[in-house]
Structure 1
Amino acid sequence: MHFDEILEHVGTFGRYQKLTFLIVCLMAVPMSYHQLAQVFLAPDTDHWCAVPELLEPNCSALAGAGPPDSTAYSRCMEARKNISIPRKKGKFLQCYRYVLDANDDVSGAAGDGYINETIKTSSNKTMKCDAGWEYDRSQYHTTVVQDFNLVCEKKDVPEVAQSVFFAGVLVSSVITGLLADWIGRKTTLFICLGVQFIFSLAIVFSPSVTAFVALRFCLAMANMGVFIMAFVIGTEFVGPGWRTFIGVVVECFFALGYMSLAVVAYFVRDWRILQLVGSVPIILFFLLIRVVPESARWLITQGKLKEAEAIIRKIAKVNKAKLPDQLFNVNDHIQEQGRTSFIDLFRMPNLRKRTFNIMFNWFVNAAVYYGLSLSTSSLGSNDYLAFFIGGFVEIPACLSILPFIDRYGRRILLCLYLLVGGFACLGTIFFAPGAGRTVVAMIGKFGISGSFCLIYIYSAEMFPTPVRSIGMGLSSMSARLGSILAPPLLVLRGVWEPFPLVVFGLLAITAGLTTLLLPETLGLNMPETIKEGEEIGVGVPFRLPHWRGWNHRVERAPTGQPYQEVQVDTNDNKADAEEWGGANEGGPEEVQLTENAC
């Protein structure tokens, strides 16, 4: 039997799959936390030259040793800057200070509760900071930038560090995909979890910025591996009717990690403790991974039928389902010969063109997604609130695809979400920093989050099982190239502030249009062989969807065959219950009324 046929017997989303799915979903939370943590580990904060003659304890003593955000402390610091720091266009310079001559007497600077800001230096000469920097700690008490003085000549180091992190994810994308298709999904997941925990904890003790960047690179190599393996395991254990649901919920858990980072960062203003908080939960997964099985779908393609059957029968037992005595025979089982590699994705013309198209789509999605996620401070709003909203908007973005994806397909929805994201990015040109730009940027984030959610589902359905992890790995590698591009593009805000978002918008619109060249996978089984992957969509003409009402959906059909377009009687409560899985853990009942080639 085909594996999807076996799932019809054991339940396409029964009790066993739900438990496994919950565990792999939870793994997405710390993954997104670490993926975006640098926003709060190394934020850009206001800074100015330290002037030894005016250093603390002046302000702390005069303000009653109040916290950095106290009014007295802030007024004292402002007065001290008025004496020692030159201005340009009304703003204090961050890398220059006044030269204090030997004749300058600043001993009376402190008096009557605050610095006497009427005291002036005898010269207007300026010099570069020679005694370090002071930082505005009203929002961030200690950061990587502050600890390692990544300002002035070193101001681009945080962006470089973020690009290096994404380079680590890029390397992981290739290695993880190959490992997963060679040694299995579960073993690869276990290795990635171990590496993720070791290096996420080591970052807490970084003695220098070099160590911080190197350790983040190593963390990145495991971080995306955990997410890809969790996603692959989640999708390979469920039937076709649940793949969309699985993809959406995994992305929602990613968004929960995104939002949790903003909440934790709001209360934890020390970057080392913030990093530690994200490391501890990983320990839990070493206990839970014992419950996660190896992918039976992968075992079948490797010819390990006894191991696959043992897992399938365990699923059937937990789901209280019955199985025939014999699951496999020589005629039913199709085994790929030899080990597969990424080259297999490019041997056949149709699969090759689709692979390049998908890789470009991932590249654009990641560039725009991380460009918007990492540019929180440029929106002119509260960093924590804007970041939290950016994570929150991903949940409705992903959930919004559910009513439409099984009626109108993956292709047209992916195109529309990319176009929404692209045009919203272009729309930020017309708004100054503040609430207006934040709203438009969040619309863009909504569009690109929905498209990112869709591209995971779409890719997993298009790549054949023997090279699915390799295909997802190559896609993720392309996404990392886009991620690496995002931080340097954000630096160009200094040339023209809207420039990065204009580039992101144009990329998203282009990707949306190229999506229309891909075949539709709605209603098709996952391809189990490379040949099936080559034949997806062959002989199926392109057509634009049209509104058919809420009581229509498309049911699954064999790979490469016409879809089954179905109309359900919405007045029949039983049919409604079966459509949403209420009467059957196996998912929607298949009701075939009309057959219509798309």
Structure 2
Amino acid sequence: MSNFKDILKEIGEFGLFQKRLVAALCIPSIFVAFDVIGQVFTGMNFPHQCNTDWILEQGPNLTDEKQRNLTIPVNSEGTFDTCKMFTPVSLDLETIERYGLNNTSGCTDGFDFEISKDASSIVTEFNLVCERSSFIEASQSIYMAGSPEYKFGRRFVVLLSLLILFVFGLGISFSPNIYVYIALKFVCGISTSGIVANAFVIGGEWSDSSKFALCTIICHAFYPLGLMILSGVAFFIRNWRILQMVLFSPLFVVLGIFYWILPESARWLITQGRKEEAIKAIRRAAKVNKRNAPEELLEKVSHTKNSLTFTKSKLTVEFLFFGIIVFIFGIVEFPARLGILPLLQHFGRKLCQAGVLIFGGAACLSILVIPKGKITLTSKCFS
């Protein structure tokens, strides 16, 4: 009776097959970053005020400053209110200028945003300000709710997740309203959960256990690269719909490549009792590594209860990433993610995971005692 570890020693514990696989599995991390952090740009807010063009019927030649003074109330801080306006009246302009207006109401005619003509976001297009601003948080929190368990094999889940992310990631760019946007974002959340929970693990499960941390960290290191690409693309493309299409269109090519090159995890196949499929995948790996498949071990391969597992604490960790300066933190994450490798190898994944959650949570809580306005100190806590 043999186990998968014995077989790996014969076919290569970290040969060309494993290296090529890990290199390919780095690519999904980039698109996960696009989807997870993309709303920092697609949901960007801009200065705004109520649309008060009603007064232009009485005074079509009013300047913007004069129109604002006549129709927008001043708040307690001495600035023009962004969510209220004076209730429209049928008085002539001379009477309005002499006596002013007193009654206020919400922005019944929509909002005016200070934004260039070629720029837009879901905030400006769907008017997600004032009483509708909660939709921004809802779209992101609902996104993080999609974390199902999978029982269909890692390869199937990764391919399906990439397909879903491609279809619904592009579909978001055609959202007619915020409700459709939130629904599509939720489905994208399910797909990225499938990628995170399975793609990064396949490379490790095809390698010796001593290389598992290395494979996972290398794949994760491309997440900050995705952040830097995202911020660069978003700098040049200010229209959120076009930005969404540009970010997720390349997934069509990635999906086609992965369909042909991505193997199923032999460990998973063995634990599921699918011995013939596992042997076929092992022979393929041995061929790429230019090794001979150990036929005598393959015939005796057995189910093992100690198969590698992947513990997800995704929801807790993700709170650290939103609302941050994306490009700078993308650069910072490269050495941070690679630097964790010796800690993982020395202390193990369980202790490191616990330490990260404890210190990360403490950093988040420490922000509560930082005086308002201390932006530099707050950023360091998030870092």
Shorter-normalised TM range: 0.7 to 0.9
Unmatched 5+ stretches in structure 2: none
Instruction: Name the CA shift for 1:291/1:410 in 2 (closer, same or farther; >3 Å).
Output: closer
Q: Deviation per CA, 1:378-427, whole angstroms, max 9, x where unpaired?
A: xxxxxxxx122233332222222123322233344334433432333343
Query: For residue 393 of structure 1, what is the amino acid of its counterpart?
Result: V
Query: For residue 20 of structure 1, what is the amino acid of its counterpart?
Result: L
* 1:39 aligned partner: 40
> Does 1:372 find its partner at 2:320?
yes
Instruction: Name the CA shift for 1:411/1:325 in 2 (closer, same or farther; >3 Å).
Output: closer
> Does 1:304 find its partner at 2:274?
yes
Rounded Cα–Cα distance in structure 1 between residues aligned with 2:164 and 2:31: 13
Identical pairs, percent:
32
1:387 to 326, 329, 349: 326
State the Cα distance separating 1:43 from its structure 2 match: 2.9
Rounded Cα–Cα distance in structure 1 between residues aligned with 2:286 and 2:66: 73
Instruction: Name the CA shift for 1:164/1:427 in 2 (closer, same or farther; >3 Å).
Output: closer
> Does 1:279 find its partner at 2:257?
no
State the Cα distance separating 1:80 from its structure 2 match: 4.4
Query: For residue 303 of structure 1, what is the amino acid of its counterpart?
Result: G
Q: Deviation per CA, 1:220-258, whole angstroms, max 9, x where unpaired?
A: 222221232212212211111211111111211122223
Instruction: Name the CA shift for 1:178/1:103 in 2 (closer, same or farther; >3 Å).
Output: same
Matches within 5 A, 1:46-61: 46-53=47-54
RMSD: 3.2
> Does 1:128 find its partner at 2:67?
no
Instruction: Name the CA shift for 1:303/1:55 in 2 (closer, same or farther; >3 Å).
Output: farther
| Paired residues, number | 376
1:201 to 170, 187, 198: 170
Q: Give the TM-score taking structure 2 as reference length.
A: 0.86
Matches within 5 A, 1:140-151: 141-151=119-129
Query: For residue 41 of structure 1, what is the amino acid of its counterpart?
Result: T
Rounded Cα–Cα distance in structure 2 between residues aligned with 1:305 and 1:100: 76
Rounded Cα–Cα distance in structure 2 between residues aligned with 1:268 and 1:156: 25
Rounded Cα–Cα distance in structure 2 between residues aligned with 1:267 and 1:433: 30
Query: For residue 84 of structure 2, what is the amino acid of its counterpart?
Result: Y
* 2:289 aligned partner: 319
Query: For residue 38 of structure 1, what is the amino acid of its counterpart?
Result: Q
Instruction: Name the CA shift for 1:280/1:231 in 2 (closer, same or farther; >3 Å).
Output: same
State the Cα distance separating 1:211 from its structure 2 match: 1.6
Q: Secondary structure at the match of 2:320?
A: helix
Query: For residue 318 of structure 2, what is the amino acid of its counterpart?
Result: Y
Rounded Cα–Cα distance in structure 1 between residues aligned with 2:65 and 2:371: 30
State the Cα distance separating 1:276 from its structure 2 match: 0.6
Query: For residue 151 of structure 2, what is the amino acid of its counterpart?
Result: L
Instruction: Name the CA shift for 1:124/1:419 in 2 (closer, same or farther; >3 Å).
Output: same
Matches within 5 A, 1:358-369: 362=313, 366-367=315-316, 369=317
State the Cα distance separating 1:149 from its structure 2 match: 1.6
Q: Is the 8 A contact 1:48 1:94 kept in 2?
A: yes
1:98 to 86, 91, 94: 86
Q: Deviation per CA, 1:55-103, whole angstroms, max 9, x where unpaired?
A: 79x99x99xxxxxxxxxxxxx7566434421121123212211245444
Unmatched 5+ stretches in structure 1: 63-75, 107-118, 337-353, 377-385, 444-598
Q: Secondary structure at the match of 1:44?
A: coil
Rounded Cα–Cα distance in structure 1 between residues aligned with 2:304 and 2:261: 27
Q: Is the 8 A contact 1:9 1:321 kept in 2?
A: yes
Matches within 5 A, 1:485-524: none
Matches within 5 A, 1:517-536: none
Q: Secondary structure at the match of 1:134?
A: strand
> Does 1:432 find its partner at 2:381?
no
Instruction: Name the CA shift for 1:219/1:411 in 2 (closer, same or farther; >3 Å).
Output: closer
Q: Deviation per CA, 1:418-441, whole angstroms, max 9, x where unpaired?
A: 343233334332243354234323
Which structure ranks higher in relative contact order (CA pairs < 8 Å, sequence separation ≥ 6)?
Answer: 2
* 2:151 aligned partner: 178
* 1:496 aligned partner: none
Rounded Cα–Cα distance in structure 1 between residues aligned with 2:100 and 2:140: 43
Q: Is the 8 A contact 1:100 1:121 kept in 2?
A: no
Instruction: Name the CA shift for 1:400/1:140 in 2 (closer, same or farther; >3 Å).
Output: farther
Q: Give the TM-score taking structure 1 as reference length.
A: 0.57
Instruction: Name the CA shift for 1:78/1:275 in 2 (closer, same or farther; >3 Å).
Output: farther
Instruction: Name the CA shift for 1:79/1:138 in 2 (closer, same or farther; >3 Å).
Output: farther
Rounded Cα–Cα distance in structure 1 between residues aligned with 2:297 and 2:351: 38
Structure 1 consecutive aligned stretches of length 4 or more whose deviation exceeds 6 Å: none
